[in-house]
């Protein structure tokens, strides 16, 4: 009789856990190490990135977790920079210009050569809006030629410039190619930069070259070319004329320029770090919960890094973003390793989140367990600056999340601000696009975000403990086999646009694809692409007859479309080309 009573009581003891008192000492240890100067900002692919990965791997094992399928580091490649090659040349009328002094290839230049006439095309715009038009290509023939273009726009000092959505270098190159240009030369006018120096280079995190040579040149170099055609056509004069008149000014020359560009893309290895706690209930142990946080950050900052202070070359510590999240999941792992769970729990520190969720995307494409066995994903990104409230996103992605949160919040002293949407700017988005319920924990944005000032001494450790306490209670409910979760779509699976696009196809771009075209990483149910029959894995190669070779050309084509329009979209699916109509 006593034996029966004990057996009946055992499940109650196992699943009536008290919230652990999370160790501030442990949290601080993790934060100090991961955001310390010695790791130099944990930029993917660096030696310091590997040191961080090894530290996290060791701490997860020390916390009592096990390797999953005997693997703990899941490696993948990312683009981490570029360097100029040996075949960078520019010559004109017997003048050999000097690389890195007079000219330099742009990071997304194609490795190719061109000998052709030079055409000056102002700021390189071809804009046609209802209330605004500007065409630098009117009445000039660019086919097969170099096009010389001014950087920026005629309203450079105006933060609300009507040109701002068209002024990116990529956009200008795509427009030039649409006008059949065979090469592009960029020059910076004095209104933008007084010193006549080559601008600092930044690298794209997406491996997509422009298909033509793209070269930056100094004003002196440009003037040497232009004054041979007309000695009044100097860059200063041309820039002033356009900016004062607010009118395009372009012209053809008969000057022949010979140039070649060579860019070497550097790829480096980075990691997802994983370990797991096996479930102890045989009915549910083959079901998994993923608990994740990205561990990478911006390194030393600089142009193209994502820093909000791109001109500052300094360690970007990333204490809150996201050493705090990593510290949190390590200590959650430690707490759950001490109890028996129904479902298994996989803890993952993702790499290369700041590069476009590359680590979590690689993880969901190379899952260590069957996708249908993953019942939920909990993501912790920036939980170190708690001030009375904690934001929990994704609460609408499972029918049961709100009721579970209600149960947990009744016992909590902190305010939980809920957001139903499943998409968001962090790794949970990769799981939501696979129809997996997600929750996203965040303590809020702050002025130190993506700057060197995001440092450890500003972390609110007591606040972190509060957040982890709520997270523990919620995860403890989700791990119970009796609590099933039913996925539901909550908000678009597509990022909101920052380009003032008038329309959207309702797809998630596949930023990691290396094929020519714009890979489809996911499709928003009920959206235009879904109705047209586009599915995940398709590659968009043309819109309305205009080629699409990468995400940049896709956005450029999309910007021309209007609500109510029907777009003709050419896709490649399983090596077969198909034509689909998308009603916008």
Q: Do residues 329 and 289 make contact, with C-beta atoms less than 8 angstroms apart?
A: no
Of 311-320, 350-359, 493-502, least confident by mean pLDDT is 493-502
The pLDDT score that the predictor gives to residue 16 is 47
- Which positions ≥6 away from 532 have C-beta within 8 Å? 569, 580, 581, 582, 583
Q: 147 by DSSP, 3-state: which?
A: strand
Give per-residue pLDDT as tens, 247-304: 999 999 999 999 999 999 889 999 999 999 999 999 999 999 999 999 999 999 987 7
Q: How confident is the model at residue 1 (pLDDT cuts 50, 70, 90)?
A: very low
pTM (2 d.p.): 0.79
Give per-residue pLDDT as tens, 87-126: 999 999 999 999 999 999 999 999 999 999 999 999 999 9
Residue in this structure with the two tokens 């004109």, named with its chain if needed: 92
Give per-residue pLDDT as tens, 268-283: 999 999 999 999 999 9
For the chain, domains (ranges, CATH) are 2-81+272-478 (3.40.630.10), 86-261 (3.50.30.30), 507-583 (2.30.42.10)
- pLDDT at position 17 over 90: no
Structure tokens at 118: 């030079």
Give per-residue pLDDT as tens, 396-409: 999 999 999 999 98
Whole-angstrom distance, CA of residue 569 vs CA of residue 392: 37
- pLDDT at position 545 over 90: no
Q: How confident is the model at residue 527 (pLDDT cuts 50, 70, 90)?
A: confident
Output DSSP code: residue 324.
Answer: I
Residue 81 pairs with which residues in a beta bridge? 266
Structure tokens at 238: 């041309």
Structure tokens at 75: 């490696």
- pLDDT at position 437 over 90: yes
- pLDDT at position 343 over 90: yes
Structure tokens at 351: 């790499």
Rounded to the nearest 5°, which phi and psi values hold at 343?
-90, 155
Which secondary-structure segment (H or E) carries 236?
helix 235-245
Give per-residue pLDDT as tens, 407-430: 998 888 889 999 999 888 899 999
HSE (side-chain half, CA atoms, 13 Å) at 467:
35
The pLDDT score that the predictor gives to residue 551 is 84
Region 70-86: mean pLDDT is 91
């Amino acid at each position: 009789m006593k034996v029966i009573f004990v057996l009946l009581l055992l499940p109650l003891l196992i699943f009536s856990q008290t919230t652990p008192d999370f160790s501030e000492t442990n949290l601080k240890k993790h934060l100090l190490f991961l955001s310390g100067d010695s790791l130099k900002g944990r930029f993917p692919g660096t030696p310091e990135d590997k040191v961080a990965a090894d530290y996290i791997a060791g701490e997860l094992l020390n916390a009592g977790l096990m390797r999953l399928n005997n693997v703990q580091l899941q490696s993948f490649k990312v683009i981490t920079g570029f360097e100029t090659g040996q075949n960078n040349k520019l010559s004109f009328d017997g003048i050999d210009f000097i690389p890195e002094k007079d000219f330099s290839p742009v990071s997304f230049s194609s490795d190719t050569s061109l000998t052709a006439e030079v055409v000056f095309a102002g700021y390189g715009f071809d804009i046609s809006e209802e209330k605004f038009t500007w065409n630098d290509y009117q009445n000039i023939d660019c086919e097969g030629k170099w096009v010389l273009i001014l950087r920026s726009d005629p309203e450079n000092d105006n933060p609300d410039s009507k040109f701002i959505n068209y002024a990116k270098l990529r956009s200008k190159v795509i427009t030039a190619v649409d006008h059949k240009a065979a090469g592009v030369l960029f020059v910076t006018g004095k209104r933008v930069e007084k010193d006549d120096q080559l601008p600092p280079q930044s690298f794209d995190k997406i491996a997509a070259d422009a298909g033509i040579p793209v070269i930056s040149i100094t004003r002196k170099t440009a003037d040497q070319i232009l004054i041979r055609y007309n000695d009044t056509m100097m860059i200063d004069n041309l820039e002033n004329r356009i900016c004062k008149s607010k009118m395009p000014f372009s012209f053809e020359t008969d000057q022949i320029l010979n140039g070649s560009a060579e860019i070497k893309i550097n790829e480096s290895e980075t990691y997802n770090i994983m370990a797991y706690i096996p479930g102890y209930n045989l009915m549910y142990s083959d079901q998994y919960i993923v608990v994740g946080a990205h561990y990478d950050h911006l390194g030393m900052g600089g142009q193209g890094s994502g820093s909000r202070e791109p001109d500052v070359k300094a360690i970007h510590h990333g204490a809150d973003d996201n050493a705090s999240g990593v510290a949190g999941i390590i200590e959650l792992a430690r707490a759950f390793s001490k109890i028996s769970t129904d479902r298994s729990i996989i803890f993952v520190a993702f790499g290369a989140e700041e590069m476009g969720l590359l680590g979590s995307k690689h993880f969901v494409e190379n899952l260590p367990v069957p996708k249908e066995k993953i019942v939920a994903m909990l993501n912790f990104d920036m939980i170190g600056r708690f001030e009375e409230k904690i934001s929990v996103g994704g609460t609408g992605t499972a029918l049961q999340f709100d009721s579970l949160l209600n149960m947990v919040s009744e016992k909590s002293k902190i305010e939980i601000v809920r957001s139903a949407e499943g998409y968001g700017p962090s790794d949970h988005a990769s799981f939501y696009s696979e129809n997996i319920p997600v929750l996203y924990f965040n303590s809020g944005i702050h002025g130190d975000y993506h700057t060197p000032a995001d440092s450890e001494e500003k972390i609110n450790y007591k606040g972190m403990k509060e957040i982890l306490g709520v997270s523990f209670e919620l995860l403890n409910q989700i791990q119970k086999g009796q609590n099933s979760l039913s996925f539901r779509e909550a908000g678009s699976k597509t990022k909101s646009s920052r380009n003032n696009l008038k329309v959207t196809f309702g797809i998630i771009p596949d930023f990691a694809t290396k094929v020519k075209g714009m890979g489809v990483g996911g499709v928003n149910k009920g959206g235009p692409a879904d109705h047209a029959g586009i599915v995940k894995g398709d590659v968009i190669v043309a819109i309305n007859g205009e080629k699409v070779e990468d995400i940049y050309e896709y956005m450029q084509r999309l910007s021309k479309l209007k609500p109510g329009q029907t777009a003709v979209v050419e896709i490649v699916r399983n090596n077969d080309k198909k034509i689909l109509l998308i009603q916008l």
